Structures are given as structure tokens and as C-alpha cells.
Amino acid sequence: MNDGFASIAPEWRRDAAPVPYEEAVATMEARVAAIHAGTARELIWLVEHPPLYTAGTSAVAADLLEPGRLPVFKTGRGGQYTYHGPGQRVAYVMLDLTRPERGQSRRDVGCHVWRLEEWMIRALARFGIAGGRRAGRVGVWVARDPGHDDKIGAIGVRVRHWVTYHGLALNIDPDLGNYAGIVPCGISSKASGHGVTSMAALGVKETIADVDTALRDTFDVVFGSTSTCKS
């Protein structure tokens, strides 16, 4: 691998208009190839999508409850079904895991997932929201009633040539009703008592620009050269 960009901080890109899902995947795959080849910097890409469902590599057909409700896209990221739409900040994170600072040890995918969670937890804390992890459940959750957690941030990751892509989806103020068309991330509210929430549903009215600022401000402490993880 050409390491001409090894000492350069990631590029940040934010698209104002919703990005079609297939276009986003094609853009990520091209960038991952360029990062691996050493011809492009790592990239943090902040987007929204039109309303749609994506099916990860572990998706179960029965979890698509309303097949005709929204477009469905199969994707190579890990995980099951999830919803994307306006009011949700999707952060596509393209980082080279062969760089020493990207893990407690080189090529540590578990550390990368932990850091994506930590990144959302720290950003949410800026707005007074106590997000956290739950054993056996990837993503970021908030406690509601005793024994009841709602998911506010989802994670789906793919790695090619040790360069990550896909990333996280943080619910700011999306249409939560669209989650009714799927069993999101395999978590059925009826069976598990857990659901899905957003910052707005928790009473925190912030703009996507405000959240982007929080994500930018907390990135380096989570992904920087002196950070650690607990994968």
C-alpha cells in the first residue's frame, strides 16, 4: 500500500441534499479503493438519504414487515434491516485500519466498532443525552422505563483491504413511523420490550448542523493517535 497519505488527517465531506443509496455505495467503494492504493485521504462523509430500508448481510426476510412501504437495498455491511431517511445523520467512515492509531492493535475491527459507538455517545452527551452500550446489542441506546431501552444510533460496518466503510446512523428527528415496516436490527419491540427513538423524541430539538459540529468536535479524541478502545 502507498502510504503517501498516512500522516494526513481524514477529509470531511458533508452533502446538503439527500444522497441516493446506490450512489453512496458506489462512491464509498471507489474511495476505499483509492485509500488502499494510497491515492486519496481517509474520508468522513456526512449524508442523509431519501426514505429507504437497507438489508445487511445478516438480514432475515421475515424482518421486512411491509415490503412495499419503501425501497429496499441489499448491502454488504454487517447487520440486519435498518431505516434511513431525512432527519437522520448518516456518517460513512472510511479509515485505514493498518494505521497504528486506528486500533489498540493493527487491523482491529472490534476496536473500530467500539469507537463508532463511543463517538455517538460523546456527541450525544453534548446535548445532555446519556447514550450507552448494551451487552449483546451493537449500537447506542438510551434507557427509558425500567428494563426498557430504545436505540438511538445504529452501526453497520464493512472492511475491504483493511479500509472501513459504511458506518453509523444517528437519529436526530427522522420519521420514526417508518421503523414499523421492519424489525430494526433484529430487535422486535413486542418480543424484547426495546424500541427506537430519536433526539427529538427525547425532547432535544437540535439541527443536523449542530449534531455535525458535535461529531466533528469529538472525533479526534475517539479516533486519534492517543485514543484507546475496549473492543
Digit-by-digit pLDDT tens for the chain (231 residues) are: 445 666 689 999 999 999 999 999 999 999 999 999 999 999 999 999 999 999 988 889 999 999 999 999 999 888 889 999 999 999 999 999 998 777 655 688 999 999 999 999 999 999 999 999 988 888 999 998 777 899 999 999 999 999 999 999 999 999 999 999 998 866 655 545 678 999 999 999 999 999 999 999 999 999 986 667 875
Query: 122: helix, coil or strand?
Result: helix
Model confidence, pTM: 0.92
Active site residues: 185
Distances (CA, A) of 231 to 45, 56, 115, 162, 215: 24, 22, 9, 17, 21
Domain 11-222 is found in CATH 3.30.930.10: yes
Whole-number Å distance between alpha carbons of 170 and 90: 6
Residue keyed to cell 474520508: 43
Looking at 140-207, list the stretches that DSSP marks H as alpha helix, in order from N- to C-terminal side.
Answer: 189-192
Contacts with 146 (C-beta within 8 Å, 6 or more apart), sequence order = none
Question: How far apart are the C-alpha atoms of 34 and 151, rounded to whole Å?
Answer: 34
